[in-house]
Every structure is written in C-alpha cells, then in structure tokens.
Structure 1
C-alpha cells in the first residue's frame, strides 16, 4: 500500500471491488455500439468530463488546486491522458478483430507489466507468496479465454492490440500512482479526462472520423460507458491509487473477465462455459492470495527520497 498519513474515508479494497464490477460492463457496451472504436473512446471521455464538471460546485477548491499545480505535474497528467487515450483506442479497436473473451483476458494482463514497472519506478518488491497468487490469477484469466482464443489472421492482430492496451493502461496507473501523491483525486481525474478527450478528438480529426451522425442508440452506449466503467470504475481507481499501488489495482482488475462473462450472459445471451466458471474461481483464489500476502508495496517513497519533493496530503 502507498504510505500516507491521511486515512481514506472508505475502505480501499471495497472501493476496488466496486470499481472492478463497474469496468466489467465496458466490453459489453463497446460491443453493443456500431460506432468506430475511436469515436466510442472519444465520447466516453467527453461525457465523463461533462458528468464530472457539476461536482465543481461541491469542490470549488479543485480549480485553485489545478491552477497551483506545478509544470512537472501538469506534464505528467498529460502523459497519463496520452496513456489512457492509447489504451482505449487499442482495446476498443481490438474488439473489432477478436472476441470479447480474448480481448478482455489479454488487456487484463496488466499485473505482468505492473510488477516490472512497480519494481523499476517505485522500488516495490513483491513477496513470493503474493507473486504466486498473482500468477495464479493470471492463469485463471487464460482458463477463461483459452477456448475462445482465435489464432491467426486478423484475430491475431486484435489480440496484439489488446495486449498493447494492457501495456498502455499500466503506464496510466503508474503515472497516476505518483501524481496522486501531489493532487486530489477530483482534480487529477478532471485534468486527465480532459487531456484524454482532447487527444482523442485530435486523433479523430487527423484520421477523418466524423464526430456526428450516429444513431440515438450509440449515444446511449457512449453515456453508459462514461457513467459506469469510467466514473464508477476508473475514477474510483484514481481515488484509491493513493492507498493501493498499481500492482494491487491491476490484480483486482483481473476480476473483470468474471464480471464481463456474467454480464455477457444476461445482456448478450452468451453462455457461461465450464472453463469460465473454473477460471473465475482460480482468479478469485489468486487475487485473495495476492492481497493476503502483498505487504511490501512502498508507494512513491523511493521517488520522493530521490527527488527530495515532499508529499501533499490533498
């Protein structure tokens, strides 16, 4: 866990569970929309910003905080937004070439990259038993998606895009893990979502995607993507990353395929197969073992010691 003198008002692990349940709906809403992947990503973030803005009425200090933010933190926020934009573009596009199960399993392999990033950037060392639990949960993800993996042709390209989506979202969490020690959750979320929206709009214009002319159903799915997996998912993760590090959050997100499989059953009529049941139980067991024995995360203390910059408890 990140070390902080400020205690959270809500149990971080319970918030992590709520966030995982929320993001499990993401692939479902993307599949239901007929709009191009970049457009889906763009309006997901634009609507997220619009839904966040009214909360400025209750958090007016956020404007002053954003104005006082250092140039370094601003640049890191933009970098975080670039990572998030890349993640959505890569993952949403992958769903056009491969199955929901294959894409979701590959994009949730974030812990593999989080283990590496946490060690090199934050000096985090994962205990052997915790690492074993992490690998067990990852194995469970493969059990869920194994029978649905499509090898060869454009499906293989889709799998590659999903894997790169895992790399970029890990970069997003790693940057956020550091920045959240210097910004409040609300200010960080608002700045990053705005930066992501601008980057995605620029991408759409550069590659000739129309920003208008989509059916009413698509606009409904855009709104759902903003409300559920973004505001109730990613925004919650942005809050808890002050207390739980990137590796722990990435481990929790391994539960996403379970939620996605359940939602796919009720919404898309997809049957929950025996491998999905077995894989889900393996993931739950692996996550439990990881959280139970992962007590060595150091947050950003190593960076602060290296840079000499004090923490802000905002």
Structure 2
C-alpha cells in the first residue's frame, strides 16, 4: 500500500474510533439517570447493568474470529476486576459524600492513566496532549466545582472518589492492553462477566433487595445495560483498539458533560454559566489532545 493510501486509512480508522469514543461517552453519561430512577439500590443496579448486558455482548463476541483466547489474557481479567472496583467505589463515594465531590475526584482519573500509560504501555503524552488534558481538568473542575464543598465528615467519601479514579485508570490501561490481542466484543463480554461475578457478591452482601419490584424497574435496568454497558463500554473498548489510553481516558470528561446535559434536558436541573464554560473547556481540551495519525504508542 502506498504511503498516501496508508495515511488515508489511518485517518479513517482514527475518525471512526473517535466517533465511537464520543458516542460511548454519551451512552455512559446516561447511567446516573437510570441509577437514580431504578427501584433497586446502587450496588444491585451496578450488578444488573453488567449481568443483563452479557447475552448481547455474547452475540457480539460470537461474531469475532476465533481463537480470541480472552480467558487466558491477564489484561482482560484485570479489566473486569478494575471495572468492578470502579463501580463499587463510585457508589461508595456517592453514598459517603456529595455527588459533586465524588465526580470532582473521579475526574482525576486521566492523570493516573497518563502516568500509567507512560510507564506500562510506552504511550507518552506530548505537549499538546498535556495542554488538552489541563483544559479538560479545568473544565471538569468548573463543571462540578460550583457545588464542591469541603467538610471533615465527608473526607472518607472524597477518598473513595480518588480510589474510583485509580480503578477507572486501571480499567482503561488494562482494556487498552487487552485490545492489542483480543477483539472488542470478546473483551467486552469476558470483562463484563468477571465484573458481574464480583458485583453479585457485593450486591448480595450489601443490598436488602436484589430484584426490581415492577416491569418499569426491569425496563430501567435493561436500558441501563443496553445503553451504558453494551453501547457505552462496548464503544469504549472498540475505540481503545486504535486510540491511545491517555487520550481515550478523557472520555470521563465527555461522560460528565453528557450527564449534565441529560439532567438539564430530562430532569430540568439548571446549569450555571460556570458549568457551560466547563463544558466548552472540556470540548476544547479534547480537540487539542486528539491523535494526529502518529505511530502507535505515542500520544501527540
């Protein structure tokens, strides 16, 4: 293949991956709405999110070439463990501090991803990648910081928010490593299966009720599974087959923007001017940090 043709193919592949990343962020951004209206507790909803997604992810995985050898891939197992930890500590943070505080600390995840990708995956963040990340961090702070509050009795919940960020970073790094050898559908299915087993044990131990009490409750959980897990996490796994982990981790900011917009449109929750500014900064940061057809393992 000639060099111009190869470059064109790279641009096309990155454009498709970037589109998948954005759509995945929007889908994941809807998850707080579903959790809020579900008639089961947060840990039970987290369990059903992955459990109900498994049949659909299995169909996707079945369409991929064999052998995938996902069950012998340590990175796949690690991604499932890390995602379970991410959901568990995220819900603990929400229960122990304000949503704003939990979100504020959770959005520090890209910092951990950038450091981990540098040392573990040899994906270095270059200058305009750092500028873009800085803008996203400022935007994230503006998006949720207007209602951030310090209180000694919430320090434990704030700490859980930071732990959430660490687990999300580990999930991103593991998923990126797994995608070097395993297809997106297979990774999504096996990782979700591992997460489901862990979350079942957690929900069974901590929730007073596991089953929804109405058809509406089941509908909410099915929507959570299809939109936030199958579409959201599946598109993220697809994108990580092409895009570097540090850039892909900025999805957490897009997710926060999408969640704020969904709450504004559907729940009539007002957005302050500072939040609008935060959203603009995040979009600008992602645009600046976007990949530019560079060799794999390097982020511009």
Report what 1:46 is aligned to: 51
Summarize deviations over 1:2-36 as a string: whole Å, max 9, x none: xxx99849711111111111111112222223422
What is the CA–CA distance in structure 2 between the aligned matches of 1:201 and 1:173, rounded to whole Å?
Answer: 22
The answer as to whether partners of 1:25 and 1:259 remain within 8 angstroms in 2 is yes
The answer as to whether partners of 2:61 and 2:186 remain within 8 angstroms in 1 is no
Report what 1:147 is aligned to: 146
Report what 1:276 is aligned to: 275
Any gaps of 5 or more consecutive residues in structure 1? 300-314
What is the CA–CA distance in structure 1 between the aligned matches of 2:111 and 2:126, rounded to whole Å?
Answer: 15
The answer as to whether partners of 2:40 and 2:210 remain within 8 angstroms in 1 is no
**Count, aligned residues:** 289
What is the deviation of 1:235? Answer: 0.7
Superposed CA RMSD = 2.6
Report what 2:183 is aligned to: 184
Report what 1:306 is aligned to: none
Q: How does 1:52-67 map to 2 (within 5 A)?
A: 52-55=57-60, 59=63, 64-66=66-68
Report what 1:11 is aligned to: 16
What is the deviation of 1:84? Answer: 0.5
What is the deviation of 1:82? Answer: 0.8
- Could you state the TM-score of these two structures normalised by the residue count of structure 1? 0.83
Question: For 2:101, what is the secondary structure of its paired residue?
Answer: helix
The answer as to whether partners of 1:176 and 1:238 remain within 8 angstroms in 2 is yes
Residue 93 (str. 1) matches residue 92 (str. 2): yes
Report what 2:264 is aligned to: 265
What is the CA–CA distance in structure 1 between the aligned matches of 2:213 and 2:146, rounded to whole Å?
Answer: 34
The answer as to whether partners of 1:80 and 1:176 remain within 8 angstroms in 2 is yes
- Could you state the TM-score of these two structures normalised by the residue count of structure 2? 0.86
Report what 2:117 is aligned to: 118
Question: For 1:255, what is the secondary structure of its paired residue?
Answer: helix
- Seen in structure 2, the aligned counterparts of structure 1 residues 55 and 293 have a Cα distance that, compared at 3 Å, is closer
Summarize deviations over 1:250-309 as a string: whole Å, max 9, x none: 12331222211111112222101111011111111111111167957617xxxxxxxxxx
Report what 1:303 is aligned to: none
Q: How does 1:1-314 map to 2 (within 5 A)?
A: 8=13, 11-55=16-60, 59=63, 64-66=66-68, 68-69=69-70, 71=72, 73=73, 75-207=74-206, 209-212=208-211, 214-291=213-290, 295=294, 298=297
What is the deviation of 1:226? Answer: 0.9
What is the CA–CA distance in structure 1 between the aligned matches of 2:95 and 2:253, rounded to whole Å?
Answer: 22
Report what 1:308 is aligned to: none
